Structure 1
Amino acid sequence: MCLSLHFITNRVNALASLLLLFTLVSSESTFVCPPSLLTANCTCETTSYIVNCSSEVNHRNKLNWLHDIPIETKTLIINGHNLATLTKDTFGAAKDEPKLVEYIDLSNNNIQFIDGQTFSGFTNVKKLILSHNKIRITGDNYRGLFKPFVNLVELHLVSAFSDTSNPSFVPNLLTLLREANLTELSLLSLELNGIHGFPDSTSFCFLPSLQKLFLPGNSLNQIRLNFTCTPKLRTLDLSHNRIKHLDNESTALLADLPRSFHINLTGNPFSCDCRSEHFLRWLKRTPLFIMGKDNYICLSGYPSSNAYRRLIQLPITDIDCDPMENEYASSSLLTFYPHIILAILTVTVILLLALVFYQVRSHIMTFCLAHVFNKTNANYCALRRDEKNDTLPRKRIIEISV
């Protein structure tokens, strides 16, 4: 009886295993790579629901095959294609149900234009990579670009834009991010985008969950960001910018940050002269973790012997001011100030004259009226004299003809 019961138990377990295997196979069989994706050199991994359409050879510009991405896809990778324009129907007609995709990589696709509704339905995306494209964020069509990504955690925009020289580039970019309400975003990478600065110190205050901000390879020369409104921020990467030294205002903004805060200033063109005194003192005393600070090198300095010395080992007594720069600054001021003084004097004289005219305006008006009255009387008297002359007896002129 026990043997029979044991046999039945084994059969039941075997059937259960077969049923589980059938379930897994059947669930995977629904995730099929459509022929259009295979033609576009895509691969579909059924175990992890990955669609990979990377290409280094065939730079396709037809987007019809993007309509056929399986609905079960969790990871979507499309690299190396010529996808210059992404319309609102690029990934198929927008549907009410959200897509399951959690990871999107569209880097290196020569993308120039993205419609504001291109990513409608991609509400589950946690990581978005749009790096190394030529995206333009001008006009009105780009508005709403990031709005669907309500659960976005990482946003990578490394060298992603083409209009970085436009003065409205940074304000437009911040507007895009602000309107998207990315309250879950913890990592933002804006590397290699030609950024010279930000409109104000609160430029990233709309990202309350921000933990890592990457700004390498831009053109920043100081830190003008208020970090009290981003309390979770722990990493700030400013490597390979144009920072020669940090002034009092920049270091003051970093003063209240926790010890766990990491700053990366590697690869900046540090100048070791008298203007760097405050920065050198701060660098040696700050409790913040300055990544690689032991290897920071003076690219230039005064005296010239300071060049290529390590900042952390440079005594404050070894730095000085370049007299040539001071002389140039003084001569510039001497050339500039006379123009300012002349302009101020000119404006002052004009204002004084206007004030004098205003004070004596009644006398001027009286004088003008009197002058006009006298001129009228003079003309009238002359007319009387003319009339009197007309009354005199005229001499008769006798013509004698010969």
Structure 2
Amino acid sequence: MRERGDFCDSSVWKKGGFVWKPAARDPGRPHKSGMTSLLLLLMLALSCRCCPDKCMCSLGTVKCQNQDLDAIPHALPATTKSLFVTGNNIFQISKASFPTRLENLTDLYLSGNGMEHVDAGAFKNLPNLALLDLSNNRMKNFSDQAFHDDNKLKFLNLSSSFHSHSFTDTVLDFFLHAKLLQLTSLDLSNNNLIVLPDNIFKGLSSLGTLNLRNSSLITIQNGTLPLLHDLDLRDNDLKDLPPTMMAEFSLNPSLHIQLVGNPWRCNCFIDDLLVWLKNSTQVTDSHNLTCADPEAMKHQPLLQVQPSQLKCSSDMEGVLETSYVFLGLVLALIGVIFLLVIYLNRKGIKRWMYNIRDACRDHLEGYHYRYEINSDPRLANLSINSDV
């Protein structure tokens, strides 16, 4: 592996896989092609650049890994085919990141840089770029003008690059407008996607392999996915697949799907999925799919589930239990409010109760007086005489 000094040796130049050294001049023989050799040397010097600081260069490969760089090195050899700038602190890349045109660069690895922004024109000086690795970054913005309109990008890796769901949709909009007509493989695994926007991959006409593993997906909407050859949906949060999605999969018989690691809910709503799994060969890991709910069927293989086992009563009981809990909380809140109102008006309530007590006492005393008069014959006659 050649380091910095190897590419700058004035007596050794490497071009096209051959090593050329200036021929030793015979002092006894006139040098007829001295000017030609000098011109050739100048041309080679212009077409070749030295290996950048903190990098290692060898046969078209430049590695600048874990060097605490904050920008892409500029003094890159013109013969560079593969560039590794990984594990650094490159917050942003723009058109200034590649100021000179690198015709031979096909593979670019920029993973693990904490990158957040990819600006317009960032890769326009890389006309033959075919593989781009931006995994393990923190993408917040990806310009749809980052690539040239006739770019040749085929492989794009954005695994573990969306750590905030608030920026995910913004970054994914990039696929709607960027002209990635030759892109065949896209890796979006280990991201917080939850739900894919509608028609997000509509412009990726050549896409054949899509990796969505461990991306927190809760459903797949109809019309979201293009015609694929390989689809990885492992380790998401899928509990069922919509019938329209299974019908769309069935229209593409060459598609291979991986679904293991999802928490399938084995109730009465999953019968369509079971029928599809038993009659389709598209799911390559169908024998490893197991139920996660209800508890009685946990870890049971889906292909062994019988229709008689699929019930929804447990779901209804759960809904009723939730309703009862909610009703209890509401009643408790009303009771607390009622007691609070009584406490705040305790003096008025006490006064009102005393008034009622006095009124009842006067009323009862009147009844008692009438009873005494009616029970004594002398008082009764006196009462009659007095009435007359």
Q: Is the 8 A contact 1:150 1:180 kept in 2?
A: no
Q: Is the 8 A contact 1:146 1:177 kept in 2?
A: no
Q: Can you list the C-alpha shifts for 1:326-376, whole angstroms capped at 9, x where unaligned?
A: 56269869x99xxxxxxxxxxxxxxxxxxxxxxxxxxxxxxxxxxxxxxxx
Q: Can you list the C-alpha shifts for 1:4-36, whole angstroms capped at 9, x where unaligned?
A: xxxxxxxxxxxxxxxx99971139x9797735x
1:185 is matched by which residue type in structure 2?
A: L
Q: Is the 8 A contact 2:144 2:175 kept in 1?
A: no
TM superposition shift of 1:315:
1.7
* Distance in 2 between residues matched to 1:135 and 1:21, nearest whole Å: 38
Residue among 252, 256, 259 paired with 1:265: 259
Q: 2:62 maps to what in 1?
A: 51
Q: Is the 8 A contact 1:212 1:236 kept in 2?
A: yes
* Distance in 2 between residues matched to 1:23 and 1:281, nearest whole Å: 59
| RMSD over equivalenced CA pairs, Å | 3.1
1:79 is matched by which residue type in structure 2?
A: T
Q: Is the 8 A contact 2:132 2:153 kept in 1?
A: yes
Q: 1:189 maps to what in 2?
A: 187
Q: Is the 8 A contact 1:190 1:216 kept in 2?
A: yes
Q: Is the 8 A contact 2:162 2:168 kept in 1?
A: no
Residue among 286, 297, 301 paired with 1:306: 297
**Map of 1:2-401 to 2, 5 A cutoff?**
24-26=18-20, 34=50, 37=52, 39-40=53-54, 42-46=55-59, 49-55=60-66, 58-61=67-70, 63=71, 66-91=73-98, 93=99, 95=100, 97=101, 99-137=103-141, 142-147=143-148, 150-163=151-164, 165-166=165-166, 169-170=168-169, 172-200=170-198, 202-226=199-223, 230-231=226-227, 233-258=228-253, 260-286=254-280, 288-301=281-294, 304-323=295-314, 325-326=316-317, 328=319
TM superposition shift of 1:98:
5.3
Q: Can you list the C-alpha shifts for 1:147-167, whole angstroms capped at 9, x where unaligned?
A: 46711111111012344x21x
TM-score, structure 1 normalization: 0.65
TM superposition shift of 1:274:
1.8
* Distance in 2 between residues matched to 1:33 and 1:270, nearest whole Å: 57
* Distance in 2 between residues matched to 1:99 and 1:22, nearest whole Å: 14
2:312 is matched by which residue type in structure 1?
A: C
Q: Is the 8 A contact 2:49 2:78 kept in 1?
A: no
SS of 1:104's equivalent in the other structure is strand
What is the aligned residue count? 290
Q: Can you list the C-alpha shifts for 1:62-117, whole angstroms capped at 9, x where unaligned?
A: x3x711111211111111111112243123x3x5x553210001001111222222
SS of 1:89's equivalent in the other structure is helix
Structure 1 ranges of 4+ moved more than 6 A:
20-23, 29-33
TM superposition shift of 1:262:
0.3
* Distance in 2 between residues matched to 1:275 and 1:151, nearest whole Å: 44
5+ long unaligned stretches in structure 2: 1-13, 22-43, 328-388
SS of 1:145's equivalent in the other structure is coil
Identity %: 26
SS of 2:180's equivalent in the other structure is coil
* Distance in 2 between residues matched to 1:143 and 1:120, nearest whole Å: 12
Q: Can you list the C-alpha shifts for 1:295-335, whole angstroms capped at 9, x where unaligned?
A: 1121222xx321111111222222222345356269869x9
